[in-house]
Amino acid sequence: MWLSELARRVPVAHALTMGDRPGRALPSHVDARSPEHGLGGTLRAPRTLVPALLAAIAYVDPGNFGVNITSGAEHGYALVWVVVFASCAAMVIQYLAAKLGMVTGLSLAEHSARRYPGVGRIVLWTQAEIVVIMTDLAEIVGGAIALYLLFGMPLMWGAVAVTGFSLVVLYLKVHGRSHFESVVLVLLAVIIGSLLWQVLVAEVDRVALLRSAVPGPLDSSAALLAVGIVGATVMPHALHFHSAASRTRDDGQVEPSQAVRLRIGRQTVRSVVIAMTVAGAANISLVVFAAALPSEAGASIETAYAALGAEAGQIAATMLAVALLASGLASTLVGVQTGDVVMTGFGRRPIPALLRRTLAVVPALIILGLGVEPTLALVWSQVILSFALPGTLIPLLLFTHDRRLMGAMANHRLTTAVAWIITAVIVGLVGFLLVSGA
């Protein structure tokens, strides 16, 4: 269905071929016979894979650690079906975000500002900035927790260190000396490797794990975590990021053949599926190894770390902390980019990057300074993201369904139906949370 839609429809709109506006063709440095390029000059991969993997960082950020570890320790495998649903939903939604950016050459934020001027733009902009603040909160708090677990660094100083890291990389990027993509991809590899290793050393009830893929009833506590899992997995800020990252610079073009266009279209679909599958495996890994811990380990990441050390040894616990640190650092780098996309798209004018980043991290520092329990802050940040999801999803669905905007690349009816069902389920989970009084 949606997996084959892009491949079938791609010839008409391969403005999708990486231009800044509809109708643009492949940059001249790309071989028209092969839509591949080298990563770092050594690794050959589809050029659509890098934006998808960078967007996948949002799906393994510290917020995911908080909600998935808590759900695994407190409810065992009971919420695995939520992770599976959210991961599958992410494939569909990220596909739409990537398609919007590649076909039109504009980000979701830019389209939203143009389509809904005046009050609509302000409302959507405010919602998007709240999303950025909540993701920054999760990234900085998660990194601070990791530094505390690894080196005993006080949380406030850890938050300052993570913020400083992001500012340094941002400064280098502004001055053209940052290997941004390479750094993020290496950190992603560290996260995935560490979490999969945790599953290998954990005691896994495979039968119960398979049964948990079937939806089950939710009490108020599970409902809160389910909404948090959805917010942590179907990240609204990742939609802004991926729609922008799917564009490329216009540095000269050569008209590609129809065969090349078809290959790029198929690679876009495959890239999104690969990236979201990787992120989904990481999230399930968090639930699985946490399910083997005592239920009290779900009180916080710190208690889970201690319990893991007692159950599986200090090496396993250290690897969890390393994965959390890598998650915090990688996520904060992607968060820097997302903040820029949102601010520029809705604000319509550039704002100094260092100033913007400094302002964005203030709420996280205030929360830590007030002494709020950090894992609780992580969980609630993801719940708030779930509440913000409809305000990001609905414009995306409307844009990608608009044939005047997307041409022949407009969503197929079945794709639209699936996307609206996903949105309805998310809204239903949020509504159930409110009704249950969790």
Query: What pLDDT does 174 receive?
Result: 64
Give the integer Cα–Cα distance in Å for 42 and 257.
Answer: 26
Q: Other CB atoms closer than 10 Å to residue 254's CB: what's the count?
A: 13
pLDDT at 66 over 70: yes
* Cβ(309)–Cβ(316) below 8 Å: yes
Output 154 or 58, whichever has higher pLDDT.
154
Q: Which residues pair with 37 in a beta bridge?
A: 45
Instruction: Identify the pLDDT of residue 177.
Output: 59
Q: What is the pLDDT of residue 14?
A: 35
Distance of alpha carbon 156 from alpha carbon 333, whole angstroms: 19
Q: Is pLDDT larger for residue 311 or for residue 6?
A: 311
Q: Render pLDDT for 220-246 as a digit per residue (tens, 0 to 9).
A: 778 778 887 887 667 788 888 888 888
Paired with 38 in beta bridges are 44
398-418, pLDDT tens digit by residue? 999 999 988 877 888 998 999
Q: Domain extents for the chain? A: 48-247+272-436
The pLDDT of 120-146, averaged and rounded, is 89
Give the pLDDT band (50/70/90) at residue 327. Answer: very high
155, 74 in Cβ contact below 8 A? no
Q: Can you give the pLDDT at residue 109?
A: 93
The domain 48-247+272-436 having CATH identifier 3.40.50.300: the answer here is no
Which pLDDT score, from 0 to 100, does residue 295 have? 80
| Per-residue DSSP letter, 187 | H
Above 60 in pLDDT, residue 358? yes
pLDDT value, residue 145: 93
> Given this model, what pLDDT does residue 262 score?
53
The pLDDT, as a whole number, for residue 143 is 92
- Residue 380 has what pLDDT? 83
Does pLDDT of 341 surpass 60? yes
In a 3-state reduction of DSSP, which class is residue 246? Answer: coil
Instruction: pLDDT band for 318, please (50, 70, 90 cuts).
Output: very high
Least confident of 184-193, 201-210, 277-286, 321-330: 201-210
**Whole-number average pLDDT of the chain:** 79
Lowest mean pLDDT among 43-47, 206-210, 378-382: 43-47
Chain segment 246-272, per-residue pLDDT in tens: 875 444 444 444 455 456 666 777 888
In this prediction, residue 43 carries a pLDDT of 38
- What pLDDT is recorded for position 264? 61
Q: What average pLDDT does this structure show over 116-129?
A: 90
What pLDDT sits at residue 263? 62
Q: Averaged over 364-373, what is the pLDDT?
A: 85
pLDDT band per the 50, 70, 90 thresholds, residue 188: very high
Coil vs helix vs strand at 39: strand
Query: pLDDT category, 30, cuts 50, 70, 90?
Result: very low
- As a whole-number percent, the residues of the chain with pLDDT over 90 amount to 16
pLDDT of residue 259: 54
Statement: residue 42 has pLDDT above 50: no
The residue with greater pLDDT, 430 or 376, is 376
3-state DSSP helix/strand/coil % of the chain, to nearest 5 = 75, 5, 20
CB 272, CB 44: distance < 8 Å = no
User: Do 405 and 72 touch, CB atoms closer than 8 A?
Assistant: no
pLDDT of residue 338 exceeding 90, the answer is no
Q: What is the pTM of this model?
A: 0.81
Phi, then psi, of 328 in degrees rounded to 5: -65, -45
Query: Which residue spans within 212-364 are E strands per DSSP?
Result: 253-254
Q: Quick one: which of 203, 276, 219, 235 has its CA closest to 78?
A: 219
